[in-house]
Amino acid sequence: MVSSIFSFALSIFFLSSFALSLNSIITDKHALISFKNFITSDPNAILSTNGSENTSVCNWIGVSCGLKYHRVTALNLSGYDLAGTVAPHLGNLTFLGYLDISSNSFTGILPFELSKLRRLKVMNVGANSLTGDIPAWLGSLPQLEELYLNDNTFSGWLPSDICNNMSNIQILSLSNNRLEGQISPNIWKCTHLDVLLLSFNNFSGNIPPEIGRLSYLTQLYLGHNSGFQGGVPKEIGNLSRLELLNINNASLTGDIPSSIFNIFSLRFLSFSDNSLSGSIPTFHNLSKLEELYLNNNKLRGWARNEMSNRETFIRTQTIATIGYTAPEFGMEGKVSTNGDVYSFGIMLLEMFTDLTLFRMPHHIDAHHQPAQHATISSTQSAIFSHQIDSETTSRVEG
C-alpha cells in the first residue's frame, strides 16, 4: 500500500517534470515558428525544407539544444540571405546562450523582448540592415561576453549607461553604423573589454581619456569617424596589453603623446589621414611592432634621423613601393615622387630600429599596384573583425 502510494507520487513527480520540460521545449518551438513566420524571404529555402513542424526543433538547421534540459541553447543562422524583422518571440528562448543571425538582411529594430535572454553570452546580429538606437537594455544582459552590432544602420548616441552592468563584456563591435555624439566616458565600466570596435561611425567630441582604464584591451579601433576634437589622449599609453590601435581618418589634431610609443605590446599602429602635428616621438623598444602608419599628417621629425646605411634605405625603398606617397621624401630629393609610392610609416620604423619589419602579404608584391595597399589599410578594420569572428566561432565551438 505504502509502496504503491509512493510509486504513485513518484510517477506524478516524473509526469509533471516531464510535462514541464515538454512544455518548455514547446515554448521554444513556438518561439522558433514565430521567428520563422517573421521571415519574409528565404532564398535558400533552409527554413521550409528544414524546419518542418513535425520534427523536433533540435533537429532544425542552425538550432542546438542542451543535453541536460533539452532546451534550445544556440541559434546560428548566419549568412543564409534571410530577410524580415526579428520576432520578439525570440525572447522566449530562455536557455539561449548563443545567437548568431549575422550576414543576412534583417531590418527593423532589435525587439525589447530580447532583454529576457538572461543566459545569452554571444549576440551577433552584424551585417544586416537593422535600424534604431543601440538599445540600452543590452547593458542588462548579465552574461553577455560578445556583442556584434557592426555593419548595420544603427543611429543615435551610444547609451551612456550601457557599460554599467556589462562587467563580462569582452568584445564590443559597433563599427560601420551611423552612431554619433561623444563616446561616453563611462566606457571604462566595461572593465573586461578585450576588443572595442567603434570605427566607421559619426562619433565626435573628445576621445575619452577613461579609455585608458580598460586595462584588458588588446584591440582598439576608432578610425573613420566624423572628427574627434583634440588629440590622442595620453592615457591610451596606459593600455599595457594593447596590440592594435587604429585611429585613422578621424580629424585628430595635436601631438602624438610619447606614452603611445611606450606600449611594448603593440603590433599595429595607425594614425594615418589625420592632422596630427609636432614631431614623431622617439621609440626604441617596440619589438613587436609590425605595421606603423603615420602617413597623411602634418608630422615632422623623420628628416632629423639620418639613415644608418644605404642598405636599409634600398631595402626600405623596395618594400616601400607598395605603400603610400610621401611627398616630403620626394622633396628631399631622395626618392622621386613620380609614381613612386611607398609606406612612409614603415620606412620611418626602419630608420628608427634598423629592422625589416613588414611582413609582405603575398598578393602585394608589384610596385605598380599601390592602390591595393591603400585599400588594405582602409579596410583594416574589416580584416581584423573578420579574424575576430572566426576566432569567436572556434571558441564557441570548442
Ligand X SMILES: *[C@@H]1O[C@H](CO)[C@@H](O)[C@H](O)[C@H]1NC(C)=O
In the complex, the smallest distance separating the C-beta of residue 221 from ligand X, rounded to whole angstroms, is 14
Q: Which long-range contacts (CB under 8 A, 24 or more apart) does 296-300 make?
A: 296/272, 296/324, 297/271, 297/272, 297/273, 299/256
How many angstroms separate the CA atoms of 156 and 54, rounded? 43
Spatial neighbors of 374 by CB under 8 A, at least 6 apart, are 324
Inter-residue contact 29 to 57 (CB < 8 Å): yes
- Assigned C-alpha cell, 317: 625603398
In the complex, the smallest distance separating the C-beta of residue 218 from ligand X, rounded to whole angstroms, is 16
- Assigned C-alpha cell, 330: 620626394
Q: Give 212 or 345: the residue with its C-beta nearer to ligand X.
A: 212
Q: Which residues bind to ligand X, rule: CB under 6 A?
A: 27, 30-31, 50, 52, 54-55, 59, 61, 76, 78-79, 88-89, 91-92, 100, 113, 139-140, 161, 164-165, 178, 180, 202, 212-213, 224, 226, 235, 238, 249, 264, 273, 285, 378, 393, 396-397
Q: How many residues does the chain have?
A: 398
Q: Give 164 or 317: the residue with its C-beta nearer to ligand X.
A: 164
Beta bridge partners of 276: 254
In the complex, the smallest distance separating the C-beta of residue 327 from ligand X, rounded to whole angstroms, is 15
Q: Give 53 or 311: the residue with its C-beta nearer to ligand X.
A: 53
Q: Give 315 or 382: the residue with its C-beta nearer to ligand X.
A: 382
In the complex, the smallest distance separating the C-beta of residue 229 from ligand X, rounded to whole angstroms, is 12
In the complex, the smallest distance separating the C-beta of residue 8 from ligand X, rounded to whole angstroms, is 30
Inter-residue contact 204 to 227 (CB < 8 Å): yes
In the complex, the smallest distance separating the C-beta of residue 310 from ligand X, rounded to whole angstroms, is 26
3-state DSSP assignment of residue 21:
helix
Q: Give 204 or 312: the residue with its C-beta nearer to ligand X.
A: 204
How many angstroms separate the CA atoms of 246 and 223, rounded? 6
- Assigned C-alpha cell, 34: 514565430
State the DSSP string of 316-353. Answer: HHHHHTTSB--HHHHHTTSS--SS--B-HHHHHHHHHH
Q: Give 192 or 315: the residue with its C-beta nearer to ligand X.
A: 192
In the complex, the smallest distance separating the C-beta of residue 104 from ligand X, rounded to whole angstroms, is 11
Residue 25's Cβ-side half-sphere holds a number of Cα atoms within 13 Å equal to 20
Q: Give 266 or 319: the residue with its C-beta nearer to ligand X.
A: 266
